[in-house]
Amino acid sequence: MASLSSKPALVTLRQVLSELRKQANSKKLAENQMARYILNQYRKHQTTDQQLCKAADEMHFKAKTYYDYLHFSRRYKEINSEFKGKGERSVDDTARMVGFKLPHDPK
């Protein structure tokens, strides 16, 4: 696979863009510098990524690695925040957990 317009490379592109959309601060991808840069690179290496005697598949491997980095650091944060201890529960939370209500709660 040498061309960056082949199917696996495009799948990777879609994955990277989706991760960027999930993580970046602004919601619009058109304003995202990184997304624009990656699209530019894809266009530049559209016909072949064999420049300067680089190994075949080099750009695609890079894109895949970057996707792995984005995806798994997000996964790590998600799992961590789901399971990390959040200190002692309040009386309120404990009551709600077992299906009770506090005396001053509205019915």
Partner 1 sequence: MLNPINVHCKMFSVINIIKKTNVINPQIFDAVKHRCYATHKRFYRRTDIVQNEKSWEITLDHRRLKTPNGRVLTVNTEPLARAIAAEWDAQVEYISQPTMHLTALCNTALDNPGKLNSHDIASYLVDFIATDTLLFYSEEEELKKLQEKKWGPVLEWFNKRFEVKQVVTKGLELPPIATNTRAVLARYFLSYDFPALNAMCFGIEALKSPILMLACVDRYLDPKEAVLLARLEEEFQVMRWGRVPWAHELNQAELTARVAASLIVIHSSSERHSAANKSQGDRNV
Of these, 30, 53, 55, 91, which contacts partner 1 (CB under 8 A)? 55
Q: Which is nearer to partner 1, 50 or 57 (CB)?
A: 57
Cα–Cα dist 57/61, whole Å: 6
Of these, 14, 47, 69, 101, which contacts partner 1 (CB under 8 A)? 69
Among left, alpha and beta (phi > 0; psi -120 to 50; other), residue 87 is left
What CA–CA distances, in Å, run from 28 to 17, 18, 22, 32?
11, 12, 11, 7
From the CA atom positions of the chain, what is the Rg in Å?
A: 23
Of these, 23, 29, 39, 50, which contacts partner 1 (CB under 8 A)? 23
Q: Determine, following the binding rule CB under 8 A, whether residue 91 of this chain makes contact with partner 1.
A: no
DSSP, res 105: S
Q: Determine, following the binding rule CB under 8 A, whether residue 17 of this chain makes contact with partner 1.
A: no
Residues that bind partner 1 (CB under 8 A): 20, 23-25, 32-34, 37, 41, 51-52, 55, 57-58, 61-62, 64-66, 68-69, 72-73, 75-87, 93, 96-99
